[in-house]
Amino acid sequence: MKQRNPNFENLEPSYLFPQIRAKAEAFAKHNPEQKLLNFGIGDVSLPLVPVIVEALEKASKEMGTEEGFHGYGPEMGYPELNEKISEVFYHKKISSEEIFVSDGAKCDIARLINLFGHKPTIGVQNPCYPAIADSVRILSGAQKLQLIPCDPTTGIPLDLENLTCDILIIVNPNNPTGHLLSRKTLESIVQIAREKKILLIYDGAYREFISQPGYPRSIFDIEGSLDCAIEIGSLSKSAGFTGLRLGWVAMSRHLHYKKETTPVLDDYKRLIQTTFNGASYLSQKAALAALSPEGHTQTKRQIHQYLQRTELLRQGLETFGLMTFGGKQSPFIWARLAGKTLSSWDLFHVFLENLGWITTPGSGFGSAGEGFVRFSGFAKPKQIQEALDQMKTNHHIRRFL
């Protein structure tokens, strides 16, 4: 009989979002008359923009011809796309050969953890996107996971000076808190990483939601980061690729292991060549369209719409009596009661059972998220409007708030 990987024994039996879905489905079954408004999962809701659809149509027609058919592509991505990512996101500071195009950021997190094996301790913000902590628990073992104490309203690590992990994973703008780190904070993180020889993994999946001038969009905008950081990017939230799938990992060849001269990039290339067969030709063509000037204009418009929706919802929640955080440079609103008297799951149930709202309980993002719930501004405008109307009429809910 094969032995079970013992790391599974320390996990919650189900990942956070399926748990929420199951609870919402059970509620809907017993309350068929209650309309549900989904502010839970952070999936996008707007359709692909025209320039991406045209590129997909063209690429799929090409694939149906003998001359245009594409089988396995380069594992790191078609050079044209790597070039484009290097230019658009990194102004060539990271070259096309230092970019690994992938099928999305979630898989990249797991691939990077695998790269370093089970020896290093991995620091993760508390609260944080649950796929990160769970991937560490599964791939390295819970004993290798360090939940870094953070300000629960922002996700900013509280005691950088005393970090003891080998690898630190930072998400900016943060999911779930919706907070955007300042240049000064990022500079301190890079400085500490350099001093303590900590490898930084920077997840910038929401970078396109940053509009505030003076705030860095990439860790490579911070001096000294090239030889201590790896960046993960994604088109999921900025160009609607959650179903199409496209992400990337960017790392400089100047990033080395502590005691060796081998660039980390060489090993990552070896891992990718062995375990990944490249992102699909169609999604790479779609990505090229998304990163074209026309694609940029069209997708920017959508991001603006999501941010407007988020702000409308945030204002409504504040007026309703909740304390809100984030939601300005991010599609996520992090909210809690002023007195913090209900647990995250209790608050989730109050909203579900009284208003039909599906939210995400903050404790699912780590112990520091207890008492919070996360609202996603990716919700459809009609749902946001309905929630705003409900808040005006359901005064009885205030007794919970």
56 vs 397 by CB, closer to ligand PLP: 56
Question: In terms of CB distance, is 201 or 255 closer to ligand PLP?
Answer: 201
* Shortest separation between residue 104's beta carbon and ligand PLP, angstroms: 3
| Shortest spacing between CB 375 and ligand PLP, in angstroms | 14
Distances (CA, A) of 53 to 59, 125, 150, 392: 10, 37, 41, 40
> Which residue number, 155 or 295, has a Cβ lying nearer to ligand PLP?
155
Question: Cβ distance 142 to 7 under 8 Å?
Answer: yes
Instruction: Please answer whether residues 334 and 177 qualify as being in contact, where contact means their C-beta atoms are separated by less than 8 angstroms.
Output: yes
Least separation in angstroms between residue 228's CB and ligand PLP is 20
Backbone angles phi, psi at 101, to 5 degrees: -75, 140
C-beta closer to ligand PLP: residue 239 or 391: 239
Residue type, 280: S
Coil, strand, or helix at residue 361?
strand
Contact between 252 and 98 (Cβ < 8 Å):
yes
DSSP label at residue 356: -
- The CB-of-177 to ligand PLP minimum distance in angstroms stands at 11
CB of 236 to ligand PLP, least distance (A): 3
- Say how far apart CA 284 and CA 104 lie, in whole Å: 12
User: Which is nearest to 255 in space by CA: 303, 282, 283, 219?
Assistant: 219
Q: Which is nearer to ligand PLP, 76 or 205 (CB)?
A: 205
Residues of the shown chain interacting with ligand PLP in the complex, contacts defined by CB under 6 A: 42, 104-106, 129, 171, 175, 203, 205, 234, 236, 242, 247
Could you tell me the smallest distance in angstroms from the CB atom of residue 129 to ligand PLP? Answer: 4
- CA–CA dist 348, 337 (Å, integer): 12
Q: Are strands 322-326 and 332-337 parallel, antiparallel or unpaired?
A: antiparallel
**Residue in the shown chain whose Cβ atom is closest to ligand PLP:** 104
Which residue lies nearer to ligand PLP by CB, 89 or 320?
A: 89
Between CA 34 and CA 356 the distance in angstroms is 6
Helix (H), strand (E) at residue 233 = strand 229-234
Residue whose CB is less far from ligand PLP, 175 or 390: 175
Minimum CB separation of residue 182 from ligand PLP in Å reads: 19
Least Cβ distance, residue 135 to ligand PLP (angstroms): 11
Nearer to ligand PLP, 75 or 231 (CB): 231
Distance set, CA 262 to CA 111, 112, 122 (Å): 19, 16, 21
